[in-house]
Amino acid sequence: MQLNKLVKAFHLFLFFCLISENLLITSGYATDNKKPETLSLSQAVEIALTANLSLKKSKDEIDSARAIKNIQRANFLPTFNARYKFTRYDEELTQIGVSGIISVITPLEESLFVASFSQPIFQRFSIINQYQLASLGVDFRKLSAKLTRLEVIFLAKKAFFSLLKVQKLLAVARQAVTLLAAHQETAKNFYDVGMTPLNDWLKSQVELANAKQDLIVAQNNLEIAKSELNIILRRPVNTAVEPVNILTFLPLENDLDYYLNIVEENRLEIKMADVEVEIAEREVKIAKKDYFPSINLEGSYYKLGADWDLDTGDSVSDPDGWSVSAIASWNFWEWGRTCYGVKEKKSRLSQAKHNREEIYDNVCLEIKKGYLKTRESEKNIKTVRKAIEQAKENLRISEEQYKHQVATSTDVLDAQTLLSKTMTNYYNALYDFKIAKAFLHKAISLEVME
């Protein structure tokens, strides 16, 4: 009797443990499955721009270039210097004059304070060229930051549209499983009553199994696409996200010549190449600086004392004074060092010009590829859009004919495959068009947030 009570108590304990475990699992499931965040394209782009590390590094590069420019600007201004020197000798040096008066040449302790300045008057055009070179460095860093910004916008758009595409392809895969499951059930019922042969039912089962495999692949592709978008937005890889769907379709308004004509005006890589050519030209001028003399204006004031506080007393004959000097200097012979340096910089200038031409050719090719890809997807959208309704109607007719045993199961399966393929082609064309259009905007350095 007591044993039965113990068994009942043990069963009751297990029951409560199971209830507690189920409650914990349920609460954990509710916590982990939060409602996905709805995200528009413009929001995704803004988040990517705010969080991107390359853009933050570009801003640091601009600040660094501006600091270098300020350093070069300071070279136009005079330099001030102050120096204090205290010396103690082992003995005081004196001399006796003709009148018998003893004068001190060097006191036992001596203090010297010197304040000086140096102002460049003419530095062989090097200071102004260095300043302009630093200014060009700021311009180059700004263009580089804009280029990075365009790349981030494109990557965010590409990830966003890719996510929308795999979402639609997942919906197509689910629809295919639903329709094939219904057809498989119909084929089984027909086989059970002897209206169709066994192979019709077997074919429907095989096609249903294949569709389920395609559905699994589509689900994995969706998770990967979400993770890729989260990475670009610099968020945890498993963050739930629900993109706002964009089904609008706006064809290109301009032809290829329009984009090729504005490439030289808009494309940032070409502007950066132009700045590099200007930098190379400035470096040639800097290399020529040793062909000219340099002129500096220097001045100084000194105060001499026989104690640490510069107290002169009577022991120092000339306690203070000042001087101003204009100094010209010119290295007129250096065994061709300056000449060879200029030749080296001219070669760099020629390389920069060739590089600019190469970039221009590659950019034109890139724009043409982007334009043709966009036009290709645009034409595919118009073609496939008309075929969707035809494929749906074909499937409906095939299913009705199969129910009346006018068509075979193979006809229905072929119609279903045709519809899935047509829908897949449509969504591929639609979102490939949007990605290609975003790439074309980047190719002409046009910042479009939507």
**Distance (Å, whole) CA 369 – CA 441:** 13
Non-local CB neighbours of 223 within 8 Å, separated by 6+ positions: none
Joined tokens for residue 432: 């490939």
Most confident of 10-14, 232-236, 252-256, 408-412: 232-236
Rounded alpha-carbon distances, angstroms, from residue 80 to 72, 83, 118, 133, 329:
17, 10, 7, 25, 21
What DSSP element (H or E) covers 371? helix 337-403
The four Cα atoms 264, 270, 272, 273 give a dihedral, to 10 degrees, of -120
Rounded alpha-carbon distances, angstroms, from residue 124 to 77, 153, 326, 408:
16, 46, 15, 93
Q: Once rounded to an integer, what is the mean pLDDT over residues 219-238?
A: 94
167 burial (CB, 10 Å; 0-12 / 13-18 / 19+) is buried
The pLDDT value given to residue 32: 42
Query: Mean of the per-residue pLDDT values for the chain?
Result: 84
User: pLDDT over 70 for what percent of the chain?
Assistant: 86
Q: Once rounded to an integer, what is the mean pLDDT over residues 201-227?
A: 91
Long-range residue pairs from 361-368, CB within 8 A, at least 24 positions apart, any chain: 363/263, 363/267, 363/269, 363/270, 363/443, 364/260, 364/263, 366/443, 367/256, 367/259, 367/260, 367/263, 367/440, 367/443, 367/444, 368/256, 368/260
The pLDDT value given to residue 96: 66
The pLDDT value given to residue 316: 53
The pLDDT value given to residue 389: 87
The pLDDT value given to residue 9: 42
The pLDDT value given to residue 20: 40
For residue 323, the one-letter residue type is: S
pLDDT at 202 over 70: yes
The pLDDT value given to residue 31: 36
pLDDT tens profile 274-297: 999 999 999 999 998 888 888 999
Q: Name the more confident of 3 and 134.
A: 134
- Residues 145, 62 contacting (CB under 8 angstroms): yes
Per 3-state DSSP, the chain is made up of helix, strand and coil in percentages (nearest 5) of: 65, 15, 20
pLDDT tens profile 291-337: 888 899 999 998 887 777 776 665 555 678 888 999 898 888 888 88
Is 0.75 surpassed by the pTM of this model? yes
Q: Once rounded to an integer, what is the mean pLDDT over residues 88-111?
A: 68
Q: Name the more confident of 272 and 27.
A: 272
186 closest CA partner among 204, 174, 198? 204
Q: Name the more confident of 196 and 434.
A: 434
pLDDT tens profile 425-437: 999 999 999 999 9
For residue 408, the one-letter residue type is: T
Domains of the chain: 34-77+124-292+334-443 (1.20.1600.10), 81-122+294-329 (no CATH)
422 closest CA partner among 374, 398, 450, 390? 390
Rounded alpha-carbon distances, angstroms, from residue 53 to 45, 63, 181, 406:
14, 16, 48, 64
Lowest model confidence (mean pLDDT) among 250-254, 303-307, 383-387: 303-307
User: pLDDT over 90 for what percent of the chain?
Assistant: 49
Q: Once rounded to an integer, what is the mean pLDDT over residues 364-383?
A: 91
DSSP string, 247-275: -------S-HHHHHHSHHHH-HHHHHHHH
Non-local CB neighbours of 293 within 8 Å, separated by 6+ positions: 122, 124, 328, 329, 330
The pLDDT value given to residue 313: 60
pLDDT tens profile 354-373: 999 999 999 999 999 999 99
According to DSSP, the β-strands at 320-329 and 93-96 are unpaired
Confidence class for position 26, pLDDT limits 50, 70, 90 = very low
pLDDT at 29 over 60: no
Non-local CB neighbours of 232 within 8 Å, separated by 6+ positions: 48, 152, 155, 156, 159
